[in-house]
Amino acid sequence: MSLLPSPLAMVAKAPVVPVVVIERLEEAVPLARALVEGGLPLIEVTLRTPVALEAVRLIAAEVEGAIVGAGTVIERAQIETSLEAGATFLVSPGTTPDLLAAFTETPIPVMAGCASASEAMRLAELGFEVLKFFPAEPSGGAAFLKSVAGPLPHLRFCPTGGIGPYNAPDYLALPNVVAVGGSWVVPADAIRAGDFGKVRDLATAAAALKRAAAFA
Protein backbone atom coordinates (compact mmCIF):
# COMPACT_ATOMS: atom_id res chain seq x y z
CA MET A 1 0.00 0.00 0.00
CA SER A 2 1.38 3.39 -1.03
CA LEU A 3 2.01 5.92 1.72
CA LEU A 4 2.13 8.79 -0.78
CA PRO A 5 -0.88 11.12 -1.07
CA SER A 6 -3.03 9.69 -3.85
CA PRO A 7 -4.49 11.87 -6.60
CA LEU A 8 -6.99 9.19 -7.61
CA ALA A 9 -10.06 10.61 -5.87
CA MET A 10 -9.53 14.14 -7.14
CA VAL A 11 -8.64 13.12 -10.71
CA ALA A 12 -11.75 10.95 -10.86
CA LYS A 13 -13.99 14.00 -10.31
CA ALA A 14 -14.15 14.72 -14.06
CA PRO A 15 -13.02 12.94 -17.24
CA VAL A 16 -10.88 15.85 -18.44
CA VAL A 17 -8.18 17.85 -16.66
CA PRO A 18 -7.76 21.19 -18.45
CA VAL A 19 -4.12 22.01 -19.12
CA VAL A 20 -4.03 25.78 -18.81
CA VAL A 21 -1.40 28.29 -19.93
CA ILE A 22 -2.16 31.70 -18.41
CA GLU A 23 -0.44 34.61 -20.11
CA ARG A 24 -2.26 37.46 -18.36
CA LEU A 25 -3.11 37.36 -14.68
CA GLU A 26 -6.53 38.94 -15.17
CA GLU A 27 -7.58 35.87 -17.15
CA ALA A 28 -6.99 33.42 -14.31
CA VAL A 29 -10.14 33.80 -12.21
CA PRO A 30 -12.75 34.11 -15.00
CA LEU A 31 -11.13 31.20 -16.85
CA ALA A 32 -11.18 28.98 -13.77
CA ARG A 33 -14.77 29.95 -12.99
CA ALA A 34 -15.83 29.02 -16.54
CA LEU A 35 -14.18 25.61 -16.20
CA VAL A 36 -15.78 24.91 -12.83
CA GLU A 37 -19.20 26.03 -14.10
CA GLY A 38 -18.76 23.67 -17.06
CA GLY A 39 -18.05 20.73 -14.77
CA LEU A 40 -14.26 20.54 -14.85
CA PRO A 41 -13.09 21.48 -11.33
CA LEU A 42 -9.58 20.01 -11.58
CA ILE A 43 -7.37 22.63 -13.24
CA GLU A 44 -3.69 22.20 -14.10
CA VAL A 45 -1.98 25.59 -14.43
CA THR A 46 1.30 25.03 -16.23
CA LEU A 47 4.37 26.78 -14.87
CA ARG A 48 5.32 28.13 -18.29
CA THR A 49 4.62 31.82 -17.81
CA PRO A 50 5.81 34.48 -15.36
CA VAL A 51 2.31 34.83 -13.87
CA ALA A 52 1.58 31.12 -13.44
CA LEU A 53 2.22 30.88 -9.70
CA GLU A 54 0.24 34.01 -8.95
CA ALA A 55 -2.56 32.60 -11.11
CA VAL A 56 -2.56 29.46 -8.96
CA ARG A 57 -2.74 31.65 -5.88
CA LEU A 58 -5.70 33.67 -7.18
CA ILE A 59 -7.66 30.63 -8.34
CA ALA A 60 -7.10 28.86 -5.03
CA ALA A 61 -8.27 31.92 -3.10
CA GLU A 62 -11.15 33.18 -5.26
CA VAL A 63 -12.73 30.38 -7.29
CA GLU A 64 -15.13 28.28 -5.27
CA GLY A 65 -15.07 24.62 -6.27
CA ALA A 66 -11.78 24.83 -8.13
CA ILE A 67 -9.12 22.21 -7.43
CA VAL A 68 -6.04 23.93 -8.78
CA GLY A 69 -2.67 22.35 -9.29
CA ALA A 70 0.68 23.24 -10.80
CA GLY A 71 1.83 21.51 -13.97
CA THR A 72 5.09 21.36 -15.90
CA VAL A 73 6.95 20.91 -12.62
CA ILE A 74 10.48 20.07 -13.74
CA GLU A 75 12.69 20.99 -10.79
CA ARG A 76 12.70 20.71 -7.03
CA ALA A 77 12.43 24.46 -6.38
CA GLN A 78 9.08 24.61 -8.14
CA ILE A 79 7.55 22.23 -5.63
CA GLU A 80 7.96 24.60 -2.69
CA THR A 81 6.79 27.66 -4.63
CA SER A 82 3.74 25.75 -5.88
CA LEU A 83 2.86 24.70 -2.35
CA GLU A 84 3.23 28.28 -1.14
CA ALA A 85 0.90 29.43 -3.93
CA GLY A 86 -1.81 27.03 -2.78
CA ALA A 87 -1.51 24.25 -5.34
CA THR A 88 -3.41 21.13 -4.26
CA PHE A 89 -1.66 18.76 -6.67
CA LEU A 90 1.42 18.67 -8.89
CA VAL A 91 2.03 17.32 -12.37
CA SER A 92 5.35 16.70 -14.10
CA PRO A 93 5.99 15.94 -17.79
CA GLY A 94 8.73 13.50 -16.84
CA THR A 95 10.82 12.51 -13.86
CA THR A 96 14.47 12.87 -12.94
CA PRO A 97 16.07 11.18 -9.91
CA ASP A 98 16.20 14.46 -7.99
CA LEU A 99 12.62 15.35 -8.82
CA LEU A 100 11.43 11.88 -7.82
CA ALA A 101 13.19 12.13 -4.48
CA ALA A 102 11.48 15.46 -3.85
CA PHE A 103 8.08 14.15 -4.94
CA THR A 104 8.24 11.30 -2.41
CA GLU A 105 8.42 13.95 0.33
CA THR A 106 5.67 16.18 -1.08
CA PRO A 107 2.56 16.48 1.14
CA ILE A 108 0.09 16.85 -1.74
CA PRO A 109 -0.78 14.39 -4.53
CA VAL A 110 1.58 14.16 -7.50
CA MET A 111 1.02 12.84 -11.00
CA ALA A 112 4.56 12.08 -12.09
CA GLY A 113 5.21 11.83 -15.80
CA CYS A 114 6.23 8.74 -17.74
CA ALA A 115 6.47 7.72 -21.39
CA SER A 116 7.43 4.04 -21.18
CA ALA A 117 6.67 0.84 -19.30
CA SER A 118 10.03 0.97 -17.53
CA GLU A 119 9.41 4.49 -16.27
CA ALA A 120 5.93 3.51 -15.11
CA MET A 121 7.32 0.50 -13.24
CA ARG A 122 9.94 2.63 -11.53
CA LEU A 123 7.30 5.13 -10.40
CA ALA A 124 5.11 2.29 -9.16
CA GLU A 125 8.01 0.98 -7.05
CA LEU A 126 8.17 4.38 -5.33
CA GLY A 127 4.46 4.39 -4.55
CA PHE A 128 2.96 6.49 -7.33
CA GLU A 129 -0.37 5.06 -8.46
CA VAL A 130 -1.68 7.65 -10.95
CA LEU A 131 0.82 8.68 -13.60
CA LYS A 132 0.82 11.30 -16.29
CA PHE A 133 1.44 9.57 -19.63
CA PHE A 134 3.18 12.21 -21.74
CA PRO A 135 3.41 12.92 -24.60
CA ALA A 136 0.56 10.48 -25.09
CA GLU A 137 0.04 10.37 -28.85
CA PRO A 138 3.75 10.35 -29.86
CA SER A 139 4.45 7.72 -27.17
CA GLY A 140 2.00 5.12 -28.44
CA GLY A 141 -1.35 6.60 -27.51
CA ALA A 142 -4.31 4.54 -26.38
CA ALA A 143 -2.80 1.40 -27.90
CA PHE A 144 0.18 1.66 -25.54
CA LEU A 145 -2.00 2.10 -22.46
CA LYS A 146 -4.17 -0.84 -23.50
CA SER A 147 -1.07 -3.01 -23.87
CA VAL A 148 0.29 -2.23 -20.37
CA ALA A 149 -3.04 -2.75 -18.59
CA GLY A 150 -2.34 -6.48 -18.29
CA PRO A 151 1.22 -6.45 -16.89
CA LEU A 152 0.65 -3.28 -14.83
CA PRO A 153 -2.95 -3.65 -13.61
CA HIS A 154 -2.37 -1.61 -10.46
CA LEU A 155 -1.46 1.60 -12.28
CA ARG A 156 -3.77 4.34 -13.49
CA PHE A 157 -2.92 7.00 -16.05
CA CYS A 158 -3.87 10.52 -17.04
CA PRO A 159 -2.63 10.73 -20.64
CA THR A 160 -1.84 14.18 -22.02
CA GLY A 161 -0.41 15.37 -25.30
CA GLY A 162 -2.17 15.32 -28.64
CA ILE A 163 -5.57 14.56 -27.09
CA GLY A 164 -8.73 16.31 -28.20
CA PRO A 165 -12.46 15.63 -28.41
CA TYR A 166 -11.90 13.35 -31.41
CA ASN A 167 -9.69 10.81 -29.62
CA ALA A 168 -10.39 11.41 -25.92
CA PRO A 169 -13.14 8.73 -25.94
CA ASP A 170 -10.59 6.12 -27.08
CA TYR A 171 -8.52 6.80 -23.97
CA LEU A 172 -11.43 7.12 -21.57
CA ALA A 173 -12.75 3.72 -22.65
CA LEU A 174 -9.66 2.08 -21.14
CA PRO A 175 -9.97 0.75 -17.56
CA ASN A 176 -6.53 2.08 -16.60
CA VAL A 177 -7.29 5.68 -17.67
CA VAL A 178 -8.86 7.77 -14.93
CA ALA A 179 -8.95 11.02 -16.94
CA VAL A 180 -7.26 12.74 -19.86
CA GLY A 181 -5.43 16.04 -19.86
CA GLY A 182 -6.06 18.49 -22.64
CA SER A 183 -5.92 22.10 -23.75
CA TRP A 184 -8.75 21.97 -26.27
CA VAL A 185 -11.20 23.20 -23.61
CA VAL A 186 -9.13 26.37 -23.10
CA PRO A 187 -8.40 27.65 -26.62
CA ALA A 188 -5.97 30.55 -26.65
CA ASP A 189 -8.04 32.64 -29.05
CA ALA A 190 -11.11 32.44 -26.81
CA ILE A 191 -9.07 33.38 -23.75
CA ARG A 192 -7.46 36.35 -25.51
CA ALA A 193 -10.90 37.51 -26.61
CA GLY A 194 -12.34 37.12 -23.12
CA ASP A 195 -14.86 34.61 -24.45
CA PHE A 196 -15.18 32.57 -21.29
CA GLY A 197 -18.66 31.48 -22.33
CA LYS A 198 -17.00 29.43 -25.05
CA VAL A 199 -14.65 27.92 -22.47
CA ARG A 200 -17.65 27.01 -20.30
CA ASP A 201 -19.41 25.37 -23.23
CA LEU A 202 -16.33 23.36 -24.18
CA ALA A 203 -15.91 22.30 -20.55
CA THR A 204 -19.55 21.20 -20.40
CA ALA A 205 -19.09 19.02 -23.47
CA ALA A 206 -15.86 17.56 -22.08
CA ALA A 207 -17.42 16.84 -18.70
CA ALA A 208 -20.06 14.76 -20.46
CA LEU A 209 -17.50 12.36 -21.95
CA LYS A 210 -17.90 8.82 -20.67
CA ARG A 211 -15.21 6.93 -18.79
CA ALA A 212 -14.64 3.25 -18.16
CA ALA A 213 -17.05 1.81 -15.59
CA ALA A 214 -14.42 1.83 -12.83
CA PHE A 215 -14.45 5.64 -12.84
CA ALA A 216 -18.02 6.36 -13.88
Contact indicator for 161, 135 with CB cutoff of 8 Å: yes
Question: Which tens digits make up the pLDDT trace of 74-94?
Answer: 999 999 999 999 999 999 999
Q: Which of 125, 132, 146, 198 is the catalytic position?
A: 132
Where in 55-166 does DSSP place strands (E)? 67-71, 90-91, 110-111, 113-114, 130-133, 156-159
Q: Which domain holds residue 18?
A: 8-215
On whether residue 115 sits in a domain, the answer given is: yes
On whether residue 2 sits in a domain, the answer given is: no
On whether residue 3 sits in a domain, the answer given is: no
Assign 27 a pLDDT band (cuts: 50, 70, 90): very high
The domain tally of the chain equals 1
* pLDDT above 70: residue 22: yes
Q: Which of 27, 37, 44, 129 is the catalytic position?
A: 44
Assign 214 a pLDDT band (cuts: 50, 70, 90): low
On whether residue 1 sits in a domain, the answer given is: no
Assign 1 a pLDDT band (cuts: 50, 70, 90): very low
Question: Which tens digits make up the pLDDT trace of 134-160?
Answer: 999 999 999 999 999 999 999 999 999
Assign 2 a pLDDT band (cuts: 50, 70, 90): low
CATH number of the domain at 86, please: 3.20.20.70
Residue 110, classed as helix, strand or coil, is strand
Does the annotation count 146 as an active-site position?
no
On whether residue 65 sits in a domain, the answer given is: yes
* pLDDT above 90: residue 216: no
- Does the model's pTM come out above 0.85? yes
On whether residue 20 sits in a domain, the answer given is: yes
**Looking at residues 39-67, what average pLDDT do you find?**
98
Helix (H) or strand (E) holding 45: strand 42-46
Q: What angle do the packed helices 76-85 and 52-62 form, to 10 degrees? A: 30
Rg (CA), the chain: 16
Does the annotation count 132 as an active-site position?
yes
Question: Which tens digits make up the pLDDT trace of 163-213?
Answer: 999 999 999 999 999 999 999 999 999 999 999 999 999 999 999 999 886
The pLDDT value recorded for residue 212 is 82
